[in-house]
Chain A
Amino acid sequence: MSFNLKDILTPFTAWSGVFKEPVTIKDPFNRKAAPRYRGFHDNDIQLCIGCGSCEAICENQAIDLVPVEGVEGVETKDGDSGLRPAIDYGRCCWCALCVDICTTDSLRLTSAYTWVDTDADNFIFTPGITEKDWYKDQNGWRKPGAGYEFYGKERVHMEELHADERKDSFIEFVKGYSKEQAQQEADRCVSCGICTATCPAHMGIPEYIKAVRDDDMEHGMKVLYETNPLPEICGRICTHRCEDVCSVGHNGDPLSIRWLKRYIADQIPADVDKYKDILGTGDLAKNDKKIALIGSGPASLSAAYYLALLGYSCTIFEKLPAAGGMMRYGIPSYRLPYDQIDKDVDYILSMGVDIKYNVNIGTDITLEQLNKDFDAVYTGTGLHLGRSTRITGSDHKNVYQSVDLLRDIVTGAPVPVEKKVVVIGGGNVAMDITRSMARLQMEKYGEVNVIATSLEDEEHMPADREEVVEAREEGCEIIPGYGPQEVMITDGKVTGLRVWKCLSIFDETGAFNPKFDESDERVFEGDMVIESIGQGMDLSYLSEEIKSKIEFGPRGRIVVNEDWQAKGLPWLFIGGDIIEGPDVIHGIANGHRGAVAIDKFLNEGR
């Protein structure tokens, strides 16, 4: 044996340990964990929107989103599913992937790690709602930061024409995504579906974004057309409520959902046969029912498309010489080029939808006649009348309505362009006319001199933020927060607009009652004033008899029942801006529902 006396004695040095202090902790329950410890969950219920990304990433399927009722601040609404994650501690492995992906940063792990309970069911709990004493512990796992992201926070930049290139022409300035850009942008989506719930048309947004990622445009088109027959149009000028609520937008830029929709539609060539091929609508069975639709805006087009799919013969009656309604006659072509409107409209018309232009209902043909000739009538005539501020001088001939001017620009009618223009209004239409006038001024005078002013301050302007930014880039002056008092007229000519600083717009009861600071008075010089403070509906095509049969609600809107029928006249279906919105996507949505309602109406009893 290869050992000696030393080998027998040396191990006894271990006895030196007898004199050492014991290292055992006597009370393990009160041992504080490290600041970063992954212990039990906490969820900031107010911050959480129930997007379900935690559920999607949980590798143990320990997380289930459950409805939460009776908790203040939690309700099912736009941008909040009303659900909150419940966690099963029989499955959880405390990997904290749920925390790392949390789009709102509401979920975290505390450093608490002891929980004794006699009932196993208690270990399924809803963090933040089930009362637990560890919520006050501010230690624990949070998103690490330092470049650690589970999805891209920044939006892929959309290339646009520079302001100098675009401000003197009406060509489209948003260039659209390339394939790489679109896929990169689509990759940021967490597929939560908060957008779908908020979209008036409930479009399958995560599904078509997935189609972009998979580069399957045909599938993307199918998903788009399930709920929206105007993807080229919506892909450009939709008010994108989806993006406002996008869960990714809580900690970064929301997804460019609108541009991705445009990307899909742009990839399919303008060929109705190709469309029919992709969407499988080449050979539709026809029935013998006929539907008349008044107006060719988004609501009527959408209703006509889905009615045509169901086999109905549709006839659209349009007052103007081209289809599209406000989309064509209200939105400038630098935002929505006419060929893109035609692309969507041509496909709908190719489905056997008949359209009659330059027909005035009421004068050329009455509504009563339509009722006789057709099985049902759908009307979506929109808001084509301008509203006046009714201030002193607003009846001058050089005070215009934005809707009229925008329509004239499209139809080619002569549009008065003065050297100095003042626009009243802070909405998207006001921005449209501001930027259109700027372009016309560039053409005529080589310089821009437009001032747009609104009651609302910068923060509360109803126009899309990018519209304001882009208008300024193009040289327009946007001065929000002032209320118009008088159109200044000298020697019969408009010289400007006198305004007061606006302090508040609504009074305590919420009624429109602006308050002004009279000491802060300004005069915006201008040779013409354009009013763009909202639009009204022109219902002159309804005869007195019909008007007496139906009901009108607040702001003159026709009251409809849940089947979109005018109350009192079951054959008259209403849609578009005259009942909801105003915007395109609401029109598309209620057009679709109107089509379903008409189908139900005509098939009742069958």
Chain B
Amino acid sequence: MINKFLGFTPDKKLLPSQTVTTDTDIDLSSHKYQKIWLGPNHPGITGNMAVELTVQGATIMKAKTHVGYLHRGFEKLIERRLFVQGFPTSIRMCVAEPDTNEYFIARCTEELSGYADAVPEYANWLRMLSLEMARLQGLLRGVPGQGGTFALGIGVQWGVYLRDLILDRFEELTGARVYHMYIIPGGVRGVLPDGFKARMEDNLRDIDDFIIRIKKLMFHNSVFKTRAKGLAIITPEMVDKYGIVGTNARGCGVKRDVRKDNPYLYYDQLDFDPPTATDGDVYARTWIRWQELIQTVDLIRQIMAKMPAKGDIRAKMPNVLNWKIPKGETYVRLESGRGETGMYYVTDGSDKPRRINLRGPSYNHAIALLEDVLVGTDVADVHATMVSLQTCPPEIER
């Protein structure tokens, strides 16, 4: 687009997919190329990471992703803490949707210590509620945020406001807005407050209205269509090769959803069908996310209708200070807003985990896949591509 506007025609023969096989093929001394760095400090980058671009004009010839700016080592920090102390650190592995990581720590420890079935039913419904609320607040930022990458700022403002309403509900339920620290080994940390459902329903009605408005704003928008359609295409062949999951896979017709394929909690009792599209471009992925917005609102309504009115919120567990888990290993997975997320958890019989590994979808999406799909796009499309792949750098650098 920009090339066309500037009247610049890149040399198509030089595009890496046709000719460039190694770094030496790009001869920087030829003055045909330029190297620019996007990030690590750039408002368009979704966190602390950098993309090293080799461009010809505005067209990206080669992209290399760089991580390592966070220096936090969450997995190691958790490995040096008691089992119950893991969840406040785990949530830092994804700011946008922290609840999934709380769930992992809880579920892994429960499975390995034999308390998986001991978690009260009420607590499991509350877990599901908080996980879906987390997905909803993520989508409220993510869907209009995709428009934001094309300078369509108004939708972002609407979304952030509505997301804050969901954060109000989180504050009520969990005691915090962003880092909820709600799901704990054995159960959850609070009952549903009085009047919560009515207030949530009010918010959901506002979101229903927003869903229609955002559709008009983004999906019937010539600029958005022009920019997003055909951008950063993922083909079904790439899905297994790169380990693509979630909306990124469903955007090219590969219907994968852990909630359906391997139901956890009580997802098998809920009525939903994960949306799919065929184009595999940014537009298709955003469109699916918009449909998920509708679906998540519906799921929250279903959960609130089906959950028991009251019950115990935590199983009777050993003293958290003395809790030791027998030797073992497990892998727990769930469908986060970004796709299948999993945690590999190893215990050695002591009071601390031996090894933790978070399988964050961003690792697959933003390291290798991003490098590939960026080739041939414009510099101005990098942010849009990163957002559409739902890049979350802390999840890469656990």
Contacts and interface: CB of A to CB of B under 8 A. Distances in A.
Please provide the 3 A-B residue pairs with the shortest distance between their CB atoms, ordered closest to farther: A147-B312, A59-B85, A151-B319
B225 A146 contact: no
Interface stretch (B11-19, B213-221, B284-292): B213-221
Interface in B119-146: 120
Interface residues of A, number: 49
Contact of B314 (A59, A148, A151): A148
A59 B190 CA distance: 20
B273 interface: no
B302 interface: no
Nearest to A11: B221
A147 B187 CA distance: 10
Interface of A: 1-3, 6-8, 10-11, 13-14, 16-17, 23, 33-38, 53, 56-57, 59-60, 93-97, 100-101, 109, 141, 144, 146-152, 186-191, 210, 213
Q: How large is the interface on B (under 10, 10 to 19, 20 to 34, 35 or more residues)?
A: 35 or more
Contact of A147 (B175, B313, B318): B313
A2 B225 contact: yes
Contacts of A17: 154, 158
A1 B226 CA distance: 7
A238 to B, nearest CB: 23
Nearest to B147: A11
11 contacts: A1-B222, A3-B225, A3-B226, A7-B222, A10-B217, A34-B175, A53-B321, A101-B320, A146-B313, A147-B312, A188-B319
Interface in B305-333: 310-316, 318-322
Contacts of B87: 95
Contacts of B154: 14, 17
A144 B313 contact: yes
A147 B314 contact: yes
B300 interface: no
* Chain A interface SS verdict (over half): loop
A97 B182 CA distance: 11
Nearest to B158: A17
A34 B221 contact: no
Q: Which of B174, B175, B176, B226 has the most CB atoms of chain A within a 10 A radius of its CB?
A: B175
Contact of A10 (B152, B155, B220): B220
B63 to A, nearest CB: 26
B89 interface: yes
Given A101-B321, A141-B175, A96 B181 contact: yes
Nearest to A1: B226
Nearest to A192: B321
A97 B189 CA distance: 10
Contacts of B225: 1-3, 7
Given A23-B161, A38-B176, A57 B222 contact: no
B49 to A, nearest CB: 24
B320 A151 contact: yes
Nearest to A10: B220
B171 interface: yes
Contacts of B176: 37-38, 94
Contacts of A210: 322
Contacts of B88: 59-60, 93, 95, 97
Interface in B215-260: 216-218, 220-223, 225-226, 229
Nearest to B315: A147
A210 B324 CA distance: 12
Contacts of B218: 11
B164 to A, nearest CB: 8
A7 B221 contact: yes
B168 interface: yes
B85 A97 contact: yes
A8 B321 contact: no
A146 B126 CA distance: 13
B84 A97 contact: yes
B171 A190 contact: no
A6 B220 CA distance: 7
B191 interface: yes
Given A8-B222, A53-B321, A191-B321, A149 B171 contact: no
Nearest to B87: A95
Contacts of B81: 59
B78 to A, nearest CB: 9
B217 A13 contact: yes
A16 B214 CA distance: 12
